[in-house]
Structure 1
Amino acid sequence: SVLQQYQQGAVLDFHRFTEPVVAILRSLGVPAELTGRNDILAGGRKISGNAQFFTAHKMFSHGTLLFDSRLEDVVEALNPKMSKITSKGLKSIRSRVANISEFLESPMGLEEFRDRLIEGLFAEQGEIRRHRFTAEEWRAIHDLAETKYSTWEWNFGSSPAFNVQKVHRFPIGEIDARIDVQKGVVQSVRFFGDFFGELDVSELERLLVGVRYEPDDLALRLEGAEVGRYFGGVTRDELVAFLY
């Protein structure tokens, strides 16, 4: 991560921030190259993604490095399952991924790799200056984390609008749910399918409008609702797990 004063020419100039990392990786035998706008690839596979945030006065450029991860878990996370999610505010291009450890000339652990990376980044300065947080600074950090960065409003309240489609076959038939979410809050829900229920499902659709799209909030909103009478025996917990 690089934090600096805002510079107009540096905005979205990922080459400036990734070039030192690419050089260090190459010195370790990794055939790294910056491709597109913000990805670092090795052997045609993605090992790093980079992003940038800036205000009128500050710039924050940061990137990830895939060193020795369980790639099956990464692929599982990147591939959609039964639900189809369409984001109106974000388009993501999936690339094949790889671990940096696959390309190293000499095997090394994560800590040694971290040290080599830090040494390379600070080579021109001649020394690595470290800052140890004081007790007062740690208190301020924890306070900021609790009052701002751990809040639902910060993590989900400003997220882009998106639509979710969930489809599952229950013993009573298939339920197809279409959910519209804006700023982390459900704006509309529609249920389709060949299920049978005693009650009009539109009542449940209206009940879910305005609730945060979170499991606990969905469960709380459905508390007292006779979910099984809408979906032929499906329980509240089963419906929440399905919707989320």
Structure 2
Amino acid sequence: MIYVPVMSLDVYHNFGLEYYLMTEHHFNEPVFMLWSTTPTVMLGKYQDAAAELNVEAVKRNHVKVARRYSGGGTIYTDQGGCQFTLIYPDDRTEIDFSSGLELIQKALNQIGIKATTDSRNDLVVGGRKVSGSAQYVTSGYKLHHGSLLFESNLDLMNQLLNVDPVKLAAKRIASVHQRTVNLNEQEPSWTAADFRENLRQAVYDLTSFQEYHLTADEQARVAEIGQQRFADPKFIYGRQGQGAFQVKRYFQGGGLVKIAYSIYHDQLADVHLTGDFFSNLDAVKFEHALDGTDYDRRRVSNVIRDQLAEDPILGVDADQLVNMLFDHV
């Protein structure tokens, strides 16, 4: 395993570093990174920023907004926690959190924090969430990244994030705060820096990783990617739709799926797919494939099956999406 030290607290730079290591500097063995950010909210690939964020609270508290290339939900990060990234050679395209979560779970256990896996992508301590994960793939490589709460500002997190009532009801909780906990409850004598160093050392003990330091030219390229790809407001805020109909459902093991659409002359139009689900699906391609399709269950089903054949949605099948478009009318 290779360990790449990350000093930057800028989320755009750090997402740029992930992308660079996924697409331009390939290692033949897994790469591991630990990093932190200034106060930031990170949107999932398929989410609508206007629906997920309390925009006024974000502005008032000078919080950065970023969007991941991975699916899943919106998270809050700050210097009181840390992010972990695992990049490894893998030709499989399906979403699978087991290997990445296993390493982090073992490392946490080694430093005295008894974490277990829960549902599709979380680590929990005492039944409360301390870590969420997400993934995306490129040709021959898979990236698994996640967050770890240590002494993060959970009150601010609660102000910044709008969580859909459908999702809260499915999880039988009243707020995000109710389900999350900081790890400093387990180790109150540690600082956030202590936690990161102890975790780094535990991963070293488990893997005997070797450090790799980027050259100045590589650092410049990473900064360029960060600004061009991840700091672009169109990329961050672009997932918005205004269909005449809006349907949403929470699927256990799949997440929240929202579909906005209109019907003109008995055909689908203005289709817009959002949510906190996991997939490698190209949402724009999916939407364009449905636009102009006759509003007929069989024809819509055929289009959706074709789109999901190559890039399925984890925990959600074609029939469930078809039902969303027809059963509420």
Give the TM-score category using the shorter length.
0.5 to 0.7
Q: CA deviation at 1:119?
A: 1.6
1:2 maps to 86
Q: Quick one: distance in 1 between partners of 2:242 and 2:212?
A: 41
Q: Quick one: distance in 2 between partners of 1:85 and 1:96?
A: 14
1:1-244, aligned counterparts within 5 Å? Answer: 1-8=85-92, 11-79=94-162, 94=176, 96-104=179-187, 107-126=189-208, 128-157=209-238, 159=239, 161=241
1:134–1:75 distance in 2 versus 1, CA, 3 Å: same
CA contact (8 A) 1:45 1:97 kept: yes
Gaps of 5+ in 1: 164-179, 182-186, 188-244
1:137–1:64 distance in 2 versus 1, CA, 3 Å: same
Q: Quick one: distance in 2 between partners of 1:143 and 1:153?
A: 17
Q: CA deviation at 1:60?
A: 0.6
CA contact (8 A) 1:86 1:162 kept: no
Secondary structure of 1:64's aligned partner: strand
Q: CA deviation at 1:111?
A: 1.6
1:209 maps to none
Q: CA deviation at 1:103?
A: 1.2
Larger Rg: 1
Q: Quick one: distance in 2 between partners of 1:39 and 1:162?
A: 32
Q: CA deviation at 1:72?
A: 1.4
Q: Quick one: distance in 1 between partners of 2:232 and 2:127?
A: 39
Where relative contact order (Cα < 8 A, 6+ residues apart) is larger, the structure is: 2
Identity %: 24
**TM-score, normalized by length of structure 2?**
0.41
Gaps of 5+ in 2: 1-84, 244-259, 262-269, 271-329
Q: CA deviation at 1:145?
A: 2.1
User: Residue type matched to 2:134 in 1?
Assistant: A
CA contact (8 A) 1:31 1:103 kept: no
**TM-score, normalized by length of structure 1?**
0.54
CA contact (8 A) 2:110 2:202 kept: no
CA contact (8 A) 2:107 2:206 kept: no
Q: CA deviation at 1:86?
A: 9.3
Q: CA deviation at 1:79?
A: 4.5
For residues 213-242 of structure 1, give each alpha carbon's deviation from its aligned partner in whole angstroms, at most 9, with x where no partner exists: xxxxxxxxxxxxxxxxxxxxxxxxxxxxxx
| Misfit runs of 4+, over 3 Å | 84-87, 92-95, 160-163
1:43–1:2 distance in 2 versus 1, CA, 3 Å: same
Q: Quick one: distance in 2 between partners of 1:54 and 1:35?
A: 23
Q: How many residues align?
A: 155
